[in-house]
Structure 1
Amino acid sequence: MRSLPALLCFALPALAAVPQIRVGLDTQGLEWIVSLEGGGELRSLEGKRLLKVAEGEKLRIWWDSRGEADPTDEYRVQVGTAMNLADATATLKKLAALGEVPEKVEVPDGGTWRVLTGRFESAKEAEPILEKLAAHGYDELWVSTEKRKGKPRKARALYAVTERYERLPLPNSGVLLQPARELTTIVGKGRYRGAMRIFPNAQGRLSVVNTLDLETYLRGVVPREMGAWEYPALEALKAQAVAARTYAYVNLGKRAKEGFDLLDTVADQVYGGRDGEQSLTDRAVAETAGLIATYGGRPIQALFMADSGGGTIDNTFVFGDGGPYLKGVSNYAASPQVITFKGALAVAGDTPWLTPELLRLCAAGLVPAADLDSGRMARPARQDDLRATVAALASRLGRVPVAPEPGLLLWMARSLGFGEVVEGLERPDDARYFLGDAVPAPADQPLASFLARRGIAPPALWRTAPTLGQAFQVLGRLWQELEPAEFLEGTLLRDGQVRVKNGGPGPLPLAPSILVAEEAPGGSLRLVAQSAVQVGDRVRWIPAPGGSPLLVRRLDPDGTALDRYNPTAHWKVEIKEADLLDRLRTRAGIKAVKGFELTHNPQGRVTDMVVRDGQNRPHRFRGMHIRNLLGLKDNVFRMATVGEAPSRRWIVYGRGWGHGVGMDQTGAYGMALEGATFDGILKHYYQGIQLTPIPD
């Protein structure tokens, strides 16, 4: 186990007063294999010693439930979206008048109520009620999966099975695992600090519960919710630590009926125990120790999501009534920070000839920057144009260029030694296969086949005389085969440094005079006199003594939004009609679809979706139901219909990943890159809040 960094030591004495939290690691298993760091003991829940466990010994905890355990899930019909108590009560009365036996269930994260009716073993069994209620004017219906209520299953016993296959009876109430040192390992889950209990639950299965102090719990949450490798910005991680601490504190007791407070999944907060901890997220937890977000003196429901697609949304559109702090905000900075880099050369006109291979040659001093002229690069290549570069490159590689010969591409390849590696490897049949009627003379066919096979000189270049730009591209590819000159890439920081992926901040080593290029989505390049690079953009350079003579700015395909750093910032999916109908039928009882009617807010988020069925009847969906019904990552989307029934396809272009309410984790990272502190990030996404210590 790694020791804690020195900066954490100041927080440790205060942990005794920190609230304890019980985390449900699993509720579905019938057996678990465990081991204890340094050995230890198996005890009853009352603390009585039951079994001594040796260091390195694996112990199996097994619940004999007399065959298959009871299922834990059932299907119910939700009527409408989450609503306030008065509306929920009125809906209950209306449903009861129709012969239903409904009930209301409180939404823990929103202070609202869901109205449910019916209990089914499968989603298909709910279809008659869906049709019945739709006929009575209910247009927003949803088949949801709910935890089944049940009584403890009678079972033979709880056992411990040793590595020697000894089966020892244990108290049916459960056991406590007590390691001699700190960690308990649950095979298939990981290593955990704190206390560990395993006990039978109401579904006839085993619950595994980790009890530990809130601050230690957060050390396993923050890196799993917003890890330092993905978002290496301390202020963003500190904002996540406060949000996660607030969520955990508010929801203590949320699942008390199940014997714990929170699950270790996205249903609550992802928790990875000791195996999830990272040094930078440990620091974020320590530097915000005890702080939570409050509004009007009360802790908030600190909802957050991965990426909001350019802007968050008011909670009323997703989970129903919520705190006034859960308002929609933009993920676009009013004045993004930029750093300007000046280039030594800007080429007039289009530059389709400009390639990474040519830029490498320029960076190595093998092609003078003065030669980068559109007219010059577009004309047919001559050996005289390339002689100096080929000679310099051959000398760099310890070779002597061959005498000029008619075939330009073959001459360059032989000058760098490629004529020596093809005899016996390439065949005339391969040359004809790759080059067709452009195949050269028999003596040249092996080398031509090799160049085509490796993608160095594609078939089109053998049919016409290559331009000078194309010839330089081939020469650059030949060089890369023998001596790769790789670009380094990093994120530009506000102090002019760069952060290379999986590394810390460092200087951007540039020569006094540089070529500056901009790379657009799709890979096209152009040289510019200067580039105002937005903080957070990716830049590339080639290491060289005295600094890189080249800087390439990559225009982010996700634009300038603060939440553009997530792979789901923009996405595209295709939905086939058969797949769509299967989802509509299973989740909402809709058996045919005529079309969609979408209502968007100004940020492009769908706030209301009406599905017209085969009889043109409307079925309305809001909030989380929209993306769940269509199987999308987020509600920020537009769709195009292609083809005709029954073989239609819906091409969906969208942004973001999550419910869109509260703190945008990717946006928090973007704000941190722009210089925002953790409290500024939190007060941006949670309007009007204060940061206060957890009450004593």
Structure 2
Amino acid sequence: MTFKRLKYVLILFVGFFFFGGIPVEFGTEGAFFHGYMIPKPVIRVSLGTNLKDIRIRASSGMKIYEVDTSYRVIREDADLAEIRGAGEKLTEKYVVILAHAKERDEADELAQDFRARTGGNVFVADDESDAAGVFAVKLGDFLTRGEALAKVAELNAAGLEDVWIEREQILEDPERPIWMLIGNELESLARGSELYFIPANPESFLSLNSRSYRGFFVLKGTARGLVVVNYLNLEDYLKSVVPGELSPGQFGALEALKAQAVAARTYAIQNMGQFDRFGYDLVNTPRSQLYVGMSAEHPLSTRAVEETEGEIILYRGRPINALYTSTCGGKTEDAEKVFSGRPVPYLKSVDCSYEKQKEWPITARTPVPPITIDGRNASLDVAFLVGLGVIPLGPKPPDFRAGASFDEAVDWIREARRLAGLKDGEFDPDASALDFVSLARLLVDAFGWQDRIDELLLPGEVDFLLRDLPQVQGRDRGPLAYCFQSGLIPESVRSGDPQRTVGRAELAMALGRILRGEKDFFETGTFRSAGKGTIEVGQDFDRRTLSLSNHLRLLRTIEGESTFATKLTLLGGESVRWLERAGQVAYLEVLYPPNSNVLDRSSRYNRWQVRRTRRELGKMLGQAYAIGDLVDVEVKARGESGRVIELVLKGSKGSATVHGFQIRAALGLRDTLFVVDRAYDEQGRVDRFTFSGRGWGHGVGLCQVGAYGMAVAGAKYRDILKKYYTGVKIEKLD
């Protein structure tokens, strides 16, 4: 963007904390700061801590204020502010994690108990992992890992086995003041000040390091270094969070996005003020909820936010802690089995299935027998060309095992040329017998490849490719060699008879390979439902009804392997791709997830597998657990969903017991719903572990991909929420 007059503010920050500041004034309907109003409720989101290089730009001007016990205007109309600083100096310490809890009061009770048992400095802190809404009970601090390991050994001896070490970064105290450069004048800022960046008008927006946000910014110093806090309306915040947590592109079902909107709104309300001592409510990472500003917004998810405006989830009149997980693997888990603490009545294990699940059968009238050529099923190429309309179909399908005529080949090639975007009237060959030599000449002439042969195909390559075909001479050698090299003619012809008649399936294989190399002719979408001779698909956030041809070729693809079918049963949500001819679908391919009826079956993480050598896993575990060299891992207990809730790590110097959510972090896995297989070396020791599992996340609360599956099956967002959160009500905020 070019500015006629660049208003430029350069602010240099070097190692300093801001404290204090004037709070924003709140009116009846909104929060005001010198004429700029944000409708209530207002949320404060940290956009990063201990920031070093900050670039704040306004779409149409901004005011900059310095605020401490009073305020002063730094600039009335600025377009750009750059804050550059080295950031606070980081050092590190070690703590011992004793337990986790979902609620602060539970964590405080646990801390009191541990103080009595250990006599050390036990305290409660926010867990920095992605376990949203979890508090950690910690013991420390320790200056070295060795000191922490010694303490862990002491705790193990006292019967506390489920403890581990965590390294933390801390900030050293600042020593130097802040200086601000405005134009060519240098001045310092007051030590207790904050900077407010206020858009010049309600339609303007601010950007931080090229990422745009609604609302306004406050730049302040905290115990976590220099922080930019985004003040904005809760509903505007959700317009970014909802698509960030559940992509409308991949999971474009409105009712699922509505469920996500209500869950995210409830989570934000319940956890408002969680980081109040640092001057903000939530962070912009999955530690709270993923928030990346206006770039994430999408019309479909914005509609979901607007159509559920103000709605939250209540249990006995209070907002719930609306935990959600990406993929539950078929069943969610009781909260207390994953996070320590008391049972939560609305976070109970539920099956990720839908009793009202619909099924739609789709049939193809014409069975497709396999035609194998050099180990490849040529029927796939035949179906591709039928779908594109290259192969004409009459009342009776042609026999694709039989030979093709010269005129038939020319007609197919002409249609392929048209689809490839070549001009009409430039291909009019003289009639001849159709063998592989003449087919090669036809293809080279039809698609204009003679220059490729003359300039790119070496004489030595021609001799190599045709060394077993001495009967091919003169002008026929180049085209035939090029078609062999390009995979257009079966390899078996090189050691056979190149002058035999070309079969229809062999011709289809050649043209299929050519057209696939030109462009992707397939349309793609998500299957929604089926009617009589029709299917409904979701495509680019719209719905389309497609007519099915009487000559439909129906395919199923599972893990990359495609086979023909005469009947398929779909549940909704399957990815499909198709080809249309004359306004009807003649080729329909269903990309199946693993055969299952669970609602999150479409997730790539519904099933997964991870392999680690004993040495690799032992190195990971040795950072947190004082067990020596890893010997084995043993599952001791599972929860309602089958998730591992107690795991013993066996080592050469002792054992450690890991519980709940920490198992996932300790092993570096996507979820704790897994089984373990082992491979052994010649001495009988475990050499390699294979973890076969399901799910992604902690497995508690709303299953996001399951919500999508339920929405595709026809469920409304309130039904989705009441399925995954037991005994709740959905009501609108006053």
Category of TM-score, reference length = shorter chain: 0.7 to 0.9
> Counterpart in 1 of 2:649?
611
Note if contact 2:441-2:480 (Cα within 8 Å) is conserved in structure 1.
no
> Counterpart in 2 of 1:670?
709
Instruction: Give 3-state SS (helix, strand or coil) of 1:519's partner.
Output: strand
> Counterpart in 2 of 1:451?
483
1:507-541 Cα deviation digits (max 9, x unpaired): 2243355332333333232141x322221112222
Instruction: Give 3-state SS (helix, strand or coil) of 1:493's partner.
Output: strand
> Counterpart in 2 of 1:7?
none
> Counterpart in 1 of 2:412?
393
- Distance change in 2, residues 1:472/1:596 (3 Å): farther
- Distance change in 2, residues 1:643/1:454 (3 Å): farther
> Counterpart in 1 of 2:142?
120
How many Å separate the matches in 2 of 1:269 and 1:485? 37
Q: Which of residues 289, 294, 313 in structure 1 aligns to 2:314? A: 294
Note if contact 2:266-2:320 (Cα within 8 Å) is conserved in structure 1.
yes
> Counterpart in 2 of 1:132?
154
> Counterpart in 1 of 2:511?
476
Note if contact 1:292-1:692 (Cα within 8 Å) is conserved in structure 2.
yes
- Distance change in 2, residues 1:107/1:464 (3 Å): same
- Distance change in 2, residues 1:601/1:70 (3 Å): same
CA drift of 1:154 comes to 4.0
Note if contact 2:365-2:550 (Cα within 8 Å) is conserved in structure 1.
no
> Counterpart in 2 of 1:425?
456
> Counterpart in 2 of 1:48?
71
How many Å separate the matches in 2 of 1:74 and 1:159? 30
AA in 1 matched with 2:165:
V
> Counterpart in 1 of 2:670?
633
CA drift of 1:237 comes to 1.0
Greater per-residue strand proportion: 2
Q: Which of residues 204, 226, 235 in structure 1 aligns to 2:255? A: 235
- Distance change in 2, residues 1:369/1:176 (3 Å): same
Kindly indicate whether residue 206 of structure 2 is the aligned counterpart of residue 185 of structure 1.
yes
Q: Which moved more, 1:295-304 or 1:481-490?
A: 481-490
Q: Which of residues 263, 266, 283 in structure 1 aligns to 2:286? A: 266
How many Å separate the matches in 2 of 1:461 and 1:655? 47
CA drift of 1:371 comes to 8.4
Q: Which moved more, 1:662-671 or 1:190-199?
A: 190-199
CA drift of 1:475 comes to 2.6
TM-score by length of 2: 0.81
Q: Which of residues 538, 545, 562 in structure 1 aligns to 2:599? A: 562
How many Å separate the matches in 1 of 2:467 and 2:364? 43
- Distance change in 2, residues 1:437/1:418 (3 Å): farther
> Counterpart in 2 of 1:362?
386
Instruction: Give 3-state SS (helix, strand or coil) of 2:690's partner.
Output: strand
> Counterpart in 2 of 1:156?
176
Instruction: Give 3-state SS (helix, strand or coil) of 1:92's partner.
Output: helix
- Distance change in 2, residues 1:218/1:80 (3 Å): closer
How many Å separate the matches in 2 of 1:214 and 1:334? 35
Instruction: Give 3-state SS (helix, strand or coil) of 1:648's partner.
Output: strand
Note if contact 2:122-2:140 (Cα within 8 Å) is conserved in structure 1.
yes
Q: Which moved more, 1:330-339 or 1:362-371?
A: 362-371
Instruction: Give 3-state SS (helix, strand or coil) of 2:88's partner.
Output: coil
How many Å separate the matches in 1 of 2:77 and 2:649? 61
Q: Which moved more, 1:684-693 or 1:178-187?
A: 178-187
CA drift of 1:170 comes to 2.5
> Counterpart in 2 of 1:216?
236
Note if contact 2:580-2:587 (Cα within 8 Å) is conserved in structure 1.
no
> Counterpart in 1 of 2:609?
572
How many Å separate the matches in 2 of 1:468 and 1:123? 73
Kindly indicate whether residue 694 of structure 2 is the aligned counterpart of residue 655 of structure 1.
yes
Count, aligned residues: 664
AA in 2 matched with 1:476:
L
Q: Which of residues 499, 516, 534 in structure 1 aligns to 2:554? A: 516
Cα RMSD (Å) of the superposition? 3.6
Q: Which moved more, 1:246-255 or 1:468-477?
A: 468-477
- Distance change in 2, residues 1:473/1:86 (3 Å): same
TM-score by length of 1: 0.85
> Counterpart in 2 of 1:196?
217
Note if contact 2:536-2:546 (Cα within 8 Å) is conserved in structure 1.
yes
Question: What pairs with 1:63-82 in structure 2 (closer than 5 Å)?
Answer: 69-71=88-90, 74-80=93-99, 82=101
CA drift of 1:368 comes to 5.0
Q: Which of residues 470, 494, 505 in structure 2 aligns to 1:462? A: 494
1:320-358 Cα deviation digits (max 9, x unpaired): 234211011122333532222231212468987254321
- Distance change in 2, residues 1:607/1:51 (3 Å): same
CA drift of 1:86 comes to 5.5
CA drift of 1:689 comes to 0.3
How many Å separate the matches in 2 of 1:567 and 1:145? 32
How many Å separate the matches in 1 of 2:177 and 2:465? 71
Note if contact 2:66-2:74 (Cα within 8 Å) is conserved in structure 1.
no
Kindly indicate whether residue 542 of structure 2 is the aligned counterpart of residue 504 of structure 1.
yes
- Distance change in 2, residues 1:632/1:542 (3 Å): same
Note if contact 1:85-1:113 (Cα within 8 Å) is conserved in structure 2.
no
How many Å separate the matches in 1 of 2:146 and 2:464? 56
- Distance change in 2, residues 1:442/1:618 (3 Å): farther
> Counterpart in 2 of 1:331?
352
Q: Which of residues 660, 664, 678 in structure 2 aligns to 1:623? A: 660
How many Å separate the matches in 2 of 1:115 and 1:94? 13
Note if contact 2:51-2:87 (Cα within 8 Å) is conserved in structure 1.
no
CA drift of 1:592 comes to 1.2
Q: Which moved more, 1:421-430 or 1:81-90?
A: 81-90
How many Å separate the matches in 2 of 1:550 and 1:639? 42
Note if contact 1:75-1:123 (Cα within 8 Å) is conserved in structure 2.
yes
How many Å separate the matches in 2 of 1:518 and 1:115? 51
Q: Which moved more, 1:389-398 or 1:100-109?
A: 100-109
Instruction: Give 3-state SS (helix, strand or coil) of 1:507's partner.
Output: strand
Kindly indicate whether residue 572 of structure 2 is the aligned counterpart of residue 535 of structure 1.
yes
Question: What pairs with 1:369-388 in structure 2 (closer than 5 Å)?
Answer: 384-385=403-404, 387=406
Instruction: Give 3-state SS (helix, strand or coil) of 1:551's partner.
Output: strand
How many Å separate the matches in 2 of 1:122 and 1:217? 41
AA in 2 matched with 1:90:
D
Note if contact 1:239-1:679 (Cα within 8 Å) is conserved in structure 2.
yes
- Distance change in 2, residues 1:405/1:213 (3 Å): closer
Instruction: Give 3-state SS (helix, strand or coil) of 1:28's partner.
Output: coil
Q: Which moved more, 1:581-590 or 1:456-465?
A: 456-465
Note if contact 1:390-1:415 (Cα within 8 Å) is conserved in structure 2.
no
- Distance change in 2, residues 1:386/1:353 (3 Å): farther
Note if contact 1:102-1:116 (Cα within 8 Å) is conserved in structure 2.
yes
Note if contact 1:184-1:196 (Cα within 8 Å) is conserved in structure 2.
no
Q: Which moved more, 1:101-110 or 1:313-322?
A: 101-110
How many Å separate the matches in 1 of 2:197 and 2:300? 30
Q: Which moved more, 1:576-585 or 1:112-121?
A: 112-121
Instruction: Give 3-state SS (helix, strand or coil) of 2:611's partner.
Output: strand
Note if contact 1:431-1:439 (Cα within 8 Å) is conserved in structure 2.
no
Structure 1 unaligned segments of length 5 or more: list them. 1-11
Instruction: Give 3-state SS (helix, strand or coil) of 2:137's partner.
Output: strand
